[in-house]
Amino acid sequence: MIVTHAPDTDFFSAAMKAYQEKLLLKNYSASTIRTYKSWFGIFLHHFADQKPSSLTKKEIHQFLVDYRNRNHWSATVQNQFINAIKFFYEKVLGRPSEVYALTRAQKPLQLPSVFAEEEVKKILFASDNLKHRCILCLAYAGGLRVSEVVNLKIADIDSGRMVINIRQAKGKKDRQVMLSEKLLVLLREYFKEFKPNTWLFEGQWGGQYSARSIQEVIQQAKRKAGIKKKGSIHALRHSFATHLLESGTDLISIKELLGHNSLRTTAIYTHVSKKQLSKIQSPLDKLL
């Protein structure tokens, strides 16, 4: 059973302090630190009257089994929880990883939501707001994550080399993507009208444009365009990759443009590309 009484404050505070310090030293992102601390806090509360350094692999494993059975969590959540616990024992306490090699959940294969080229066109031109149109065009033209769009600065648009510099994106990695000529024309129009100071896209009262606002921008554009297919701003990134693949761009180039660590991650787009499917004739067409 999962215990709920208050933890020993000395054990809890000391473990959490050491945990956070190590996360910061490892230069983990703010979102990862929040996630890891949240899961590790739940773990500490469960073993409220025990020093975490004294726990055995069997106790940890049983805790994970009990917690999963009670909460019916997803594969992603289970793996996050395991990583958060393993971080303490392996990185903070310096213990060998094989001792805590816990069973991982298998992630289900979920195909990304992809808009057809004509659907993307309708979405991009649905908005009369120049800033909103620039945001949508940029997300699609470079295959950017929403966090990458909001973190772009004016100086990151390099019109001399026709590239967009993505700074410290997911995994603390810098990368470059191509700068579309038509996007550059649109951005110059936008710059003259809105005159941003630092960030490429700024809110009404200055400062970074929010990710939530961008998500609302695409939902509004979809409604105006009559697009009922599911998909957030990230679907434009999926569409970017899929359309490049269908036009003949190799997977390795797409991987680099997207900033993926593994080619296996990029290969998911082969499952949604119409390039191969279009070469196969349905048996129904032969019968009728």
pLDDT by 10s per residue, the chain, length 288 = 444 444 556 778 888 999 999 999 998 888 889 999 999 999 999 998 888 989 988 898 888 878 877 776 777 788 888 899 999 999 999 988 755 555 556 667 788 999 999 999 999 999 899 999 999 999 999 999 999 999 999 999 999 999 999 998 887 889 999 999 999 999 999 999 999 999 999 998 888 999 999 999 999 999 999 999 999 999 999 999 999 999 999 999 999 999 999 998 999 998 888 877 777 777 877 787
Q: Which of 22, 68, 167, 234 is catalytic?
A: 234
- Helix, coil or strand: residue 167: strand
The residue from 132, 145, 222, 238 that is catalytic is: 145
As a whole number of angstroms, the distance between CA 185 and CA 81 comes to 46
| DSSP, res 88 | I
117: left (phi over 0), alpha (psi -120 to 50) or beta: alpha
Active site residue 89: no
Q: How far apart are CA 259 and CA 166, in angstroms?
A: 10
Which residue among 131, 237, 274, 286 is the active-site one? 237
Catalytic residue status for 170: yes
CATH 3.40.50.2300, applies to 117-277 = no
Please say if 28 is a catalytic residue: no
Q: Which of the following is catalytic: 36, 140, 209, 269?
A: 269
Residue 237 annotated in active site: yes
Q: Where are the domains of the chain?
A: 9-100, 117-277
What single letter denotes the amino acid at residue 116?
A
pLDDT for 105:
61
Residue 119, CB-side half-sphere exposure with 13 Å CA sphere = 18
**260 catalytic residue (yes or no):** yes
Catalytic: 132? no
Q: What is the DSSP letter of 159?
A: T
Q: Which residues contact 110 (CB under 8 A, 6 or more apart)?
A: none
273, 244 contact by CB (below 8 A): no
CA distance 285 to 283: 5
Task: Report the alpha-carbon distance of residue 59 to residue 47 in Å, rounded.
Answer: 10
Closest among 237, 231, 235 to 259, alpha carbons compared: 237
CATH code given to domain 9-100:
1.10.150.130
